[in-house]
Amino acid sequence: MAKLCKKLLLILLPVAAYFAMFIYFEPYNYFGLKKGGTEDSAIVRVRNFTKDPSDVILVGDSRMAHFDMDEVERLVGEKVGQLAFGGASFNESMDLIEYALETNPDIHTVYVGVSFYTLNESYYKDRMSRIKTIAANPFAYMLNFNYNIEMLNEIKYALTSNPDADTEEIGHWTDSDYYYPDGTPREYRKNLEEYAQTIYSVCENYKQDTRDIERYKTLCEELAEKGITVYTVLPPMDESLRALVVDKLGIGENLEKFINEAANYSTVLNYEYTDDSPFTEYNFYDGFHLDLETGLPLFTQMLFGR
C-alpha cells in the first residue's frame, strides 16, 4: 500500500506542479490572486458578476470593455457590472443580459453596446454556454486547451520580457503615419486606413441581422415591463470608417433605420453614426477604439456623466 501511495504521489506531483504553474501564469486573473491582473475576459467577468452582482450592467464588445470602472462607478454613483468583452456579438450581449437578470433580478439599468459591425448578420457567435460552464468550474478553466496555450505564452513573455505582450491602445504617431514615403499627405492616418481596409473586407457582403434586432426589441420591451432602463449605445467610430466602409458599402441607411426603431423601445445614445461627433482622429487608436489617454476618458464622461 505504501509503495502504491508513493507511485501515486510521483504521478500526481508533476500534475500538481503544472496546475500551480497555470494558476501563477494564467492570463486573466481568474482566481483573483494577482494585483493589477487583467480581467478583460468574458469568463472572468461572468465569474466576478456571479460572485458580486450589481444593479447596473454594461454589455457589448471591446468598445464597451475597456472603461476605467472606478471612474464609471464614480460617475454613475453605484457599483457597475462590467460584462462587455472583446469580440462579443450582438446575440451574446443579449445572452449576457438574460444571464445577469437570472443572477440578479434587481438590475435597474443596462447599457448595451451596438455597432454597424456587430449588427452584421454574419457576425454571429454562440459561446455563452461554454462561458458559463468555465466561469463556474475552475477545473474546466484549467483544462481548457486555449487557456493553457495562453498561459504558456504568458510564461514566454515573462522569460523574454517581450514589450509587445501587453500593448495598450495608446497612440504614438510620427510623420510617417500621416505622409506617404514621397511626402504626399494621407487622407487619413496610416493605421486608420489599414484598419478600414480590414473592416471593409469583413463587411463587403454586409446584411443587417434582422433576426437579432427583432430579438433585441422583444428583450427591451420585456425589460421595460420590469422597470429596467435600457441604453442602446453606439460608441464613437473614426470618420475614416464612416467614409471608407459605411458610406462606401451603403450601410448607413440600414444603420439609421435601426437607430430610429431602437429609440421606440430604448434610450439611444448614438456616437457612432452622427454628423456632430466631438471626436477627431487624435482621439482614436484605430478606427473603432478610442485612445486610452486622449479619447476614452472623454467618452466615459460623455456616456456616464450625463
45 close to 83: Cβ distance less than 8 angstroms: yes
- Rounded to whole angstroms, how far apart are CA atoms 110 and 107? 8
- Average pLDDT over the chain, rounded to an integer: 87
Q: Rounded CA gap, 148 and 23, in Å?
A: 10
Residue 47 phi, psi (nearest 5): -60, -45
Distance CA(45)–CA(50), nearest Å, equals: 9
Please give the Cα distance from 188 to 177 (Å, whole number).
Answer: 9
Cell triple for residue 248? 462606401
In this prediction the pTM is 0.85
More confident of the two residues 82 and 157: 82
- Name the residue among 26, 34, 52, 19 with its Cα closest to residue 139: 19
Please provide residue 269's backbone torsions phi and psi, each rounded to the nearest 5 degrees: -115, 95
Q: Give, in order, the Cα–Cα distances in Å from 10 to each of 19, 22, 24.
A: 15, 19, 22
Q: Which residues pair with 229 in a beta bridge?
A: 109
What value does the mean pLDDT take over residues 16-39?
A: 64
pLDDT digits (tens, 9 = 90+) for 259-268: 999 999 999 9
Tens-digit pLDDT profile for residues 229-241? 999 999 999 999 9
pLDDT tens track for 119-175:
999 998 888 778 777 766 777 777 776 666 766 677 776 677 654 444 578 889 999
SS3 134: helix
